[in-house]
Structure 1
Amino acid sequence: MTSGYALVVRFTTRDADAAQQFDALVARTIEGIRSEPGTLVYVVHVPEGEPLVRVFYELYADRDAFQAHENQHHTKHFLKEREQHLTSTEVTFLNETVGKRPAGKEGT
């Protein structure tokens, strides 16, 4: 088993206006996340046919990298501000077993 640690988070926004505001908050937050060395992947998706839903896929080098991400000012700000735009949040934590990693880092 490799040390990768991941999350899938499904956010449902209140309405189209809230979705736009949430997207703007995410865009500001991503700027800080890009400099986190242990955050390997942080991607936001909109599921087909679900314009009010955002699905995040987050891959960290390990649990310590995830905790370092959680401790960042930009992450704490996002966690505080996001609730006003949402009706629900579903989080699934994942332990990596095998896979293909970004930049040629292969899971075994």
Structure 2
Amino acid sequence: MAYAVIARYHCTAEDEAIVRAALLKTREHTRAEPANEVYEVHAVADEPGGFLLYERYADRAGFEAHKAAEHFRELITETVWPLLTDRSVTFAEVL
């Protein structure tokens, strides 16, 4: 069963370029993962520093493999998350 992730990230204007670059680099790596079906990065309209990510994996195991990837640790855990002022994540299974 497909597994979806919707994440909302917010950072300061000073950190926006760093976060944007890291998210776009993550997109390149993630789209090459075998279980990834969709990985989209959006800038939230009328919200400077706001990002919305939509991700879909073949199953939850595919998402867990994504989180265990070296690029996730380097780009998300170590680069993006420390710069965020707010973060929310929704996990969903496709019906």
Aligned-partner Cα distance in 1 for 2:25–2:44: 21
Three-state SS of the structure 2 residue aligned to 1:43 is strand
- The equivalent residue for 1:104 is none
Structure 1 residues 1-108: aligned runs within 5 Å: 3-15=1-13, 17-77=14-74, 78-97=76-95
Give the gaps of 5 or more residues in structure 2.
Answer: none
| Contact kept? 2:42, 2:51, Cα under 8 Å | yes
Three-state SS of the structure 2 residue aligned to 1:57 is strand
Aligned-partner Cα distance in 1 for 2:2–2:55: 10
Q: State the TM-score, normalized to the length of structure 2.
A: 0.90
Over aligned residues, Cα RMSD in angstroms?
A: 1.2
Q: Which amino acid in 2 is paired with 1:46? A: A
Q: Select the structure that is richer in strand.
A: 2
- The structure 1 segments of at least 4 consecutive aligned residues displaced by more than 4 Å after TM superposition are none
Aligned-partner Cα distance in 1 for 2:30–2:81: 19
Deviation of residue 21 (structure 1)?
A: 0.8
Deviation of residue 95 (structure 1)?
A: 1.1
Q: Select the structure that is richer in helix.
A: 2
Aligned-partner Cα distance in 1 for 2:43–2:28: 19
* Paired residue total: 94
Three-state SS of the structure 1 residue aligned to 2:34 is coil
Identity %: 32
Larger Cα Rg: Structure 1 or Structure 2?
Answer: 1
Q: Which amino acid in 2 is paired with 1:73? A: E
Deviation of residue 24 (structure 1)?
A: 1.1
Aligned-partner Cα distance in 2 for 1:25–1:9: 15
Give the gaps of 5 or more residues in structure 1.
Answer: 98-108
- The equivalent residue for 1:101 is none
Three-state SS of the structure 2 residue aligned to 1:50 is coil
